Structure 1
Amino acid sequence: MNNLNLIPALPEIFLAIAISVILLVDLFTKDVKRNITYVLSIVAMGVCGLITFSSLGNGETVYTFNNMFVADPMSDILKLFSYLAVALTLVYSRRYASQRDMIGGFKGGEFYILALFSLLGQMVMISANNFLIIYLGLEMMSLSLYALVAIRRDHAISTEAAMKYFILGALASGFLLYGISMLYGATGSLDLTEVAQAIGTGAVNKPVLVLGLVFVVAGLAFKLGVVPFHMWVPDVYQGAPTAVTLLLGGAPKLATFAITIRLLVEALPALSIDWQQMLTILAVLSMAIGNVTAIMQTNIKRMLAYSTISQMGFVLLGLLSGVITAPDGSVTNGYGAAMFYSITYVMTTLGVFGIIMLLSRAGFEAENIDDFKGLNQRSPWFALVMLLFMFSLAGVPPVVGFYAKLSVLQSVVANGQIWLAIFAVLFSLIGAFYYLRVVKVMYFDEPTQTEKLAVTPDVGIALSANGVAVLALGLLPGPLMAVCAAAIARTLAA
């Protein structure tokens, strides 16, 4: 182990330098549409992707910076999809942000810069192997997102949403820090590996550990947006500009999944009985309240917020049904299924919000379900793409959401929790109603708008590719599922 080895952190180092360069370039550009800033941001993420992909093939786990930072197969996979998620977000958001003065005038290229800073925080979270590094990445991501929610400073609803998000986010950070302090007090270390070893000896104060665990799980639950820490999700999703809502609901879910694995599975495996019981309660409440409440929504962003709550409940099902080692010594499918579910959910969510921004125009926000009326008559292709996304979220075959749900349910059943699988299926059927309602509105209602959709080539190609990918991964889910399972197995074995 070489603690002066910078290679594992090369993507983060490059992105930090790139952000500084882009910030300086944007300072001197007079282009109102910020074309240079946009192109440089996409290029920076592309280079990060090449660097990360080059290290993916060896499948090794490398620690650096005194064990505080780790590059392993799980981090490489999640980073690659984070780059893709943020890049697609910028592509989908470009016209929307320009029409709402989010990237022009006095604001400059802050939208792009803050999006890159949030991505940098996510990358640090994904590779963190130390409590303080996890918190550093979390705050870097969160502070950027707080600012982005409030980027339309003259918009009262966005400002209110930003205040709610900031106050509740600070409270959740306090929970997480307090839990970390308890774990540090009980084990004497901030290093995740050393914490796991200290707990494994049994010579620690169990009540203090469990108290710390409760606060850590509460902090993670807030970032995932699960019940009962979900209060911010619908208000912030609805109040934030749609482009920022997509940034909130996309790549950060991957980073939160990563730190959940790091904190619970890698650092606290000896407490798995305790935290799996907590996750069971959170998952059940999230699937029930999320799906039932979403049925009553008429605002599609608010509906998708409650949908997110229920979908994160499914992710928790995978996490709570996994065990560190199976009887044959191999890692079970639970964590791999949860990782697969997180990735495919984020890819689907990107497309849904891309369609919402496609329907929006200057002075008009396509935020209500009724705004999708007759979309098939205006654009049969994009109505079909939206149908694929809705089917995926509902878990209807043959799109990828069906296999994602199936893989999680298989891991739950394999763990002997049949009642939990039945509960999840029941509420998935209830949740299918509000997804299929959008399909019904698109295909069977008369359109309130008759003009054709104005689609730029880059958005049209990206949305089409996104829709095809959701269908293709549903027809051939094996390769990505195998990659996720192998990444989790190698990461935990190291």
Structure 2
Amino acid sequence: MIDNISWLVIYPEIVLLAMACMIALVDLDVSSARRGATYALSMLTLAVVAVLQALYASSGNTLYGFGNMLVSDAMGNWLKCFACVATMLTLVYGRPYAADRGMLRGGELFTLSMFSLLGMFIMIGGNNFLVLYLGLELLTLSSYALVALRRDNATATEAAMKYFVLGAMASGFLLYGMSMLYGATGSLDIGQVFKAINAGQIRHQVLIFGLVFVVAGLAFKLGAVPFHMWIPDVYQGAPTAVTLMLGGAPKLAAFAITLRLLVDGLLPLAIDWQQMLALLAIGSLLVGNLAAIAQTNLKRMLAYSTIAQMGFVLLGLMSGVVNGHVDAAAVENAYGAAMFYVLTYVLTTLAAFGVILLLAREGFESEEISDLAGLNQRSPLYAGVMALCLFSMAGIPPLVGFYAKLSVLQALLASGQGGYIALAVFAVLMSLIGAFYYLRVVKLMYFDAPLTAANVSAPTDVRVVLALNGALILVLGLLPGGLMALCADAVVRALST
């Protein structure tokens, strides 16, 4: 018998699913090239679901449903709310681009975006291995279809094939690791797995074997080295609107599933997975920043930048457990900083790819770094927003990226673990190297002559949203306290139940 609380836990997911199905049916009667009715209904749905999730999060309640398989807590609900907002911005930026390239001949862009968001919701709220995996598969299958949406483009088709093959392998890693943990503990419930491991009656070798595969699967979803191979090729090959769909909201779900599995379920193995995350972070910071320097394609450069940024997230995730024990202050500092980093990174990525989308026009993708030459002379607004994004990613004050990096480094040093000071110094050095390829683009936009005199135009709503997005990057850098407190409180609430 399913109780009322279970239905309450998944009420926003039910609304999203019902509306996604309705939008798919309504779109059958839409004839306009830009799918105006489908777009409006999608935006309304996302706004309603975002408000629902914000109300759930503000209540501060933690609810479990369907036999503890799903959880509704402050952290999960805020991440779902921000995922909705990120998807809305992606559709606002991506719609003109998609319309010019024949990607709106049907409403697949909108419906697949909805189903991928539903997959993220299930991942974020999952409290059971199988539920997490089902959410992950719903997200990835929708993503495969989105990458291949431009059916007449060979590059997009190739990117979809690469993503499908490597994604299937990563899903296999994760599922195999979960099956090993299930075999060792006898449960799929994350809470029960924690209790079984904490009892200390299970062979450590079996648990570590399963843990290695789980961490490998998670590293693929985060895009950490050496499981990063798909990111540059897929980011470059996918239509830019879809690249933004992959590089934005899914990072929030990847953060949530990592926290739920490693901290909620596998905390007694923290000493082991902290070492793995340290190696992944070092590799990501090194490879991401060094490889980005050599890129001439802007989307590919931002792909390697993503890999480096995820290195910082991993540093935050590894510093919340001190000597195998959870300390309230360490949790608040480390996981709150990691959540803040992911949220602000997604915000910055949305604006950066938004500029790339708006500079693209029919028959011209604006993907090369050289395409931004002299952008300030053509459009000071777009150049200003892009400069804010690049300075923020480089970690230059007073933008939000600086505070995000600083908070992660503070959490790393505050844990007082041996070798963490060296890790922090290494991260700072890698950030200095990374600043080179970001500032190179800024120099190009402001000091080089434009290669084309073509006017940069966009619908009013897109320009307004882009300006607000850029302003948020600056405002949150000047006043980060509110969002930082929200992240810390949400994480503490989630991990205290």
Q: Normalising to structure 2: TM-score of the pair?
A: 0.97
Contact 1:3 1:67 (C-alpha < 8 Å) held by counterparts: no
Contact 1:46 1:83 (C-alpha < 8 Å) held by counterparts: yes
Matches within 5 A, 1:55-454: 55-104=56-105, 108-323=106-321, 331-416=331-416, 417-454=420-457
Unaligned runs of 5+ in 1: none
Moved more, 139-148 or 446-455: 446-455
SS of 1:57's equivalent?
helix
Contact 2:328 2:492 (C-alpha < 8 Å) held by counterparts: no
Aligned-residue offset at 1:28: 1.7
Counterpart pick for 1:488 among 479, 488, 491: 491
SS of 1:22's equivalent?
helix
SS of 2:143's equivalent?
helix
Moved more, 315-324 or 349-358: 315-324
Query: Using the alignment, how far apart are the partners of 1:355 and 1:393 within structure 2?
Result: 15
Query: Using the alignment, how far apart are the partners of 1:138 and 1:27 within structure 2?
Result: 28
Query: Using the alignment, how far apart are the partners of 1:55 and 1:172 within structure 2?
Result: 32
SS of 1:331's equivalent?
helix
Query: Using the alignment, how far apart are the partners of 2:148 and 2:137 within structure 1?
Result: 17
Moved more, 326-335 or 289-298: 326-335
Contact 1:330 1:489 (C-alpha < 8 Å) held by counterparts: no
Contact 1:3 1:63 (C-alpha < 8 Å) held by counterparts: no
Distance 1:448 1:265, change over 3 A: same
* Deviation sequence 1:251-298 (CA, Å, 0-9, x none): 000000000000000000000000000000000000001000000000
SS of 1:119's equivalent?
helix
Distance 1:296 1:330, change over 3 A: closer
Identity %: 60
Aligned-residue offset at 1:487: 0.4
SS of 1:63's equivalent?
strand
* Deviation sequence 1:165-191 (CA, Å, 0-9, x none): 000000000000000000000100000
Unaligned runs of 5+ in 2: none
Aligned-residue offset at 1:8: 1.4
Query: Using the alignment, how far apart are the partners of 2:215 and 2:48 within structure 1?
Result: 35
* Deviation sequence 1:299-358 (CA, Å, 0-9, x none): 000000000000001100000011276556773411110000000000000000000011
Task: State the AA in 1 paired with 2:453.
Answer: T
Task: State the AA in 2 paired with 1:487.
Answer: A
Partner of 1:39 in structure 2? Answer: 40
Contact 1:146 1:162 (C-alpha < 8 Å) held by counterparts: yes
Task: State the AA in 2 paired with 1:91.
Answer: V
Partner of 1:475 in structure 2? Answer: 478
Contact 1:74 1:484 (C-alpha < 8 Å) held by counterparts: yes
Task: State the AA in 1 paired with 2:472.
Answer: A
Query: Using the alignment, how far apart are the partners of 2:247 and 2:176 within structure 1?
Result: 26
Query: Using the alignment, how far apart are the partners of 2:352 and 2:318 within structure 1?
Result: 28
Distance 1:482 1:267, change over 3 A: same
Partner of 1:17 in structure 2? Answer: 18
* Deviation sequence 1:417-436 (CA, Å, 0-9, x none): 10000000000000000001
SS of 2:59's equivalent?
coil
Aligned-residue offset at 1:437: 0.7
SS of 2:71's equivalent?
strand
Query: Using the alignment, how far apart are the partners of 1:322 and 1:310 within structure 2?
Result: 20
Task: State the AA in 2 paired with 1:52.
Answer: Q
Query: Using the alignment, how far apart are the partners of 1:41 and 1:328 within structure 2?
Result: 40
Query: Using the alignment, how far apart are the partners of 2:486 and 2:384 within structure 1?
Result: 29
SS of 2:61's equivalent?
coil
Query: Using the alignment, how far apart are the partners of 2:164 and 2:155 within structure 1?
Result: 14
Contact 2:223 2:310 (C-alpha < 8 Å) held by counterparts: yes
Q: Normalising to structure 1: TM-score of the pair?
A: 0.98
Query: Using the alignment, how far apart are the partners of 1:53 and 1:453 within structure 2?
Result: 36
Distance 1:177 1:75, change over 3 A: same
Say yes or no: does 1:466 pair with 2:466.
Answer: no
SS of 2:306's equivalent?
helix
Query: Using the alignment, how far apart are the partners of 1:184 and 1:54 within structure 2?
Result: 35
Query: Using the alignment, how far apart are the partners of 2:328 and 2:90 within structure 1?
Result: 42
Query: Using the alignment, how far apart are the partners of 2:332 and 2:385 within structure 1?
Result: 34
* Deviation sequence 1:88-123 (CA, Å, 0-9, x none): 00000010000000012xxx1101110111001001
Task: State the AA in 2 paired with 1:29.
Answer: V
Query: Using the alignment, how far apart are the partners of 1:374 and 1:154 within structure 2?
Result: 32
Query: Using the alignment, how far apart are the partners of 2:372 and 2:50 within structure 1?
Result: 35
Task: State the AA in 2 paired with 1:359.
Answer: L
Root-mean-square deviation over aligned CA pairs? 1.2
* Deviation sequence 1:153-174 (CA, Å, 0-9, x none): 1111111000000000000000
How many pairs were matched up?
491
Query: Using the alignment, how far apart are the partners of 2:183 and 2:43 within structure 1?
Result: 43
Aligned-residue offset at 1:415: 1.7
Contact 2:330 2:415 (C-alpha < 8 Å) held by counterparts: no
Aligned-residue offset at 1:452: 2.4
